[in-house]
Structure 1
Amino acid sequence: MKALIFAAGLGERMRPLTDTTPKPLLVAGGKPLIAWHLEKLAALGVREVVVNVSWLAGQFPQVLGDGERWGLRIRYSDEGPVPLETGGGMHRALQLLRDGDGDEPFIAVNGDIWTDHDFARLPREPVGDAHLVLVDNPAHHPCGDFLLDADGQVAAEGEPRLTFAGIGVYRPSLLANWRDVIGDAPGAGSTPPRFRLAPLLRAAMDRSRVSGEHHRGRWTDVGTPQRLAMLDATLA
């Protein structure tokens, strides 16, 4: 199984820290945020990781190299000066994540989160197009994102809602008909296309093609300098 780490965001809410350092390379607990993910993926047996990059892209290979220190092979999907959003970024990275035209699932993780979630719990073969990890709603996102029902299916509507943790397992088939779902949204006609993943997930949920799990452990969306400082203090 391969993995994708989303690391192309501009990190605007983290300024001034991200004026000189991409958010996933900011340090918490003595190591870059992205390194925590690389360690977990390596322990799981993942050997190939794609990191999508844009803002200050050149710093990633300088800090992470080719992944040898973790027993990984890291490949970089450079999106240029304008990030392609989550959907566009995943779409561009597919050529590195899949073997031929197969539909082998892969793990995708946001590079700006920290969690004690055990990646070994993720299904190697999700039943549908995606499997998402959800967490209790944090104070900065009280309304949540999706409903997780008693059967382990994720729905776009309904209560109570949980927050998407930025961790999931996906099949390339999720993006197969992305143009039909995205339509004429801004960026969809660009080359390469720029679009969000959320509309594709909601469309798959409507077809009962998204499963999920509720992680009740520790999780932090490192979205502000204050949250980074709190996380760093906790890990120290």
Structure 2
Amino acid sequence: MHTQPPALLLAAGRGERMRPLTDHMPKPLLSVQGRPLLEWHLRALAQAGVDRVVINTAWLGEQIEARFSSGFGLQGAQDQREQLSILYSHEGRDFGRALETGGGIARALPRLGPLFWLAAGDVFAPDFRFEAEAARRFRQGDALAHLWLVENPAHNARGDFGLSDQGLALNLPADDARPRYTYSTIALLRAELFAAPWCDIPAGNPEGLAAPLAPLLRRAMDAGRVTAELYRGRWTDVGTPERLAALNAHAAG
């Protein structure tokens, strides 16, 4: 079995659109089909042989650490490959706010190393597999990022990025008629993406600079350094109470 890189799960957001559900609970702890949303990713990562996860937190982040503590194991797991150690990057405690996706990743990098999985803690993708073979292929190539894209949901009908026949993610101009797809928030990334010339945040983000991820990806796309593929399994950005209720009603049915 190929050695799996660590993973970063993004769990720092305020979840404004989920209010009032997120007034007293962080969105990644909301229950989806009987489990906290974040736990679906943790289970998939453990099953895939990932042994170390970093979770970034801000809003009510102490609840996330209280829920998962320093480790996660599959029930009945007899194999160390099914045991996750969990570290935290506490943006709220350190800076009083979330650092956005790019700033949060830059802050967590010292705990991750040169290559890592990324997923957002508020996305439900129960069919996704963090496959060691995908990580092996990524490690052997020179791409700075590999993205999983999905068909556009109603709330993002325009999409985010194009996809070439050669498997390159494309930063399409506004007037380009080629199809765009939505970035699922699941990716493999190299730490190199968060250094010059792609990113100007100092190593480890000691000042807590807030920055989005998309501009870094677009710069790397323009240089032909981002690959992508379509993911056709179940996927929901659990961004509103209505989407959460629909997922839970579907499970109940």
Q: Is 2:126 the partner of 1:113?
A: no
Contact 1:181/1:203 (<8 A) preserved:
no
1:82 aligns with 2:97: yes
TM-score of the two chains, using structure 1 as the length reference:
0.91
Amino acid at match of 2:106: H
**Distance apart, 1:123 and its partner CA:** 3.1
Which amino acid in 1 is paired with 2:236?
T
Q: Which residue of 2 aligns with 1:171?
A: 190
How does 1:27-176 map onto structure 2 within 5 Å? 27-70=31-74, 71-80=83-92, 81-98=96-113, 103=114, 105-115=115-125, 116-120=127-131, 122-126=134-138, 127=141, 128-157=143-172, 158=176, 159-176=178-195
CA drift at 1:77: 0.2
**Which residue in 1 is equivalent to 2:27?**
23
Q: Is the Cα contact below 8 Å between 1:129 and 1:174 reproduced in 2?
A: yes
- Taking the aligned partners of 2:72 and 2:32, their CA distance within structure 1 comes to 22
CA RMSD of aligned residues (A): 1.7
Take 1:111 and 1:181, find their aligned partners in 2: how far apart are those partners? 24
Q: Is the 8 Å Cα contact of residues 135 and 164 (structure 1) preserved in structure 2?
A: yes
Deviation of 1:166 (Å): 0.6
Contact in 2 for aligned 1:182/1:199 (Cα 8 Å): no
- Alignment deviations for residues 166-205 of structure 1 (CA, whole Å, 9 cap, x no partner): 1000000011126x6569xxxxx99111101110000000
Counterparts in 2 of 1:162 and 1:68: CA distance versus 1, 3 Å? closer
**Quick one: structure 1 residues 67 and 86, their matched pair in 2 at CA, closer, same or farther if it must change by over 3 Å?**
same
How far, CA to CA, are the matches of 1:123 and 1:68 in structure 2? 21
What is the CA deviation profile of residues 38-67 of structure 1, one whole-angstrom value per residue up to 9, with x for unaligned ones? Answer: 000001110000000000011011111212
Cα distance in 1 for residues equivalent to 2:72 and 2:147:
29
**Partners of 1:56 and 1:152 in 2: CA distance:** 39
TM-superposed CA distance for 1:34, in Å, is 0.3
Residues 46 and 73 of structure 2 are in contact (CA less than 8 Å); yes or no, is this contact kept in structure 1?
A: no
Instruction: Please give the per-residue CA displacement for 1:52-93, whole angstroms capped at 9, x wherever unaligned.
Output: 000001101111121243411000100022100000000000
**Structure 1 residues 182 and 160: CA distance shift in structure 2, 3 A:** farther
Q: Secondary structure at the residue paired with 1:122?
A: helix
2:71·2:86 contact (CA, 8 Å) conserved in 1?
yes
CA offsets, 1:14-45, max 9 Å, x none? Answer: 00000011001100110000000000000111
The residue matched to 2:212 in structure 1 has which SS? coil
SS at match of 2:135: coil
Identical aligned pairs, as a percentage? 48
The 1-side partners of 2:206 and 2:69 are apart by 30
TM-score between both structures, scaled by the size of structure 2: 0.85
- Name the SS of the counterpart of 2:155 in structure 1: coil
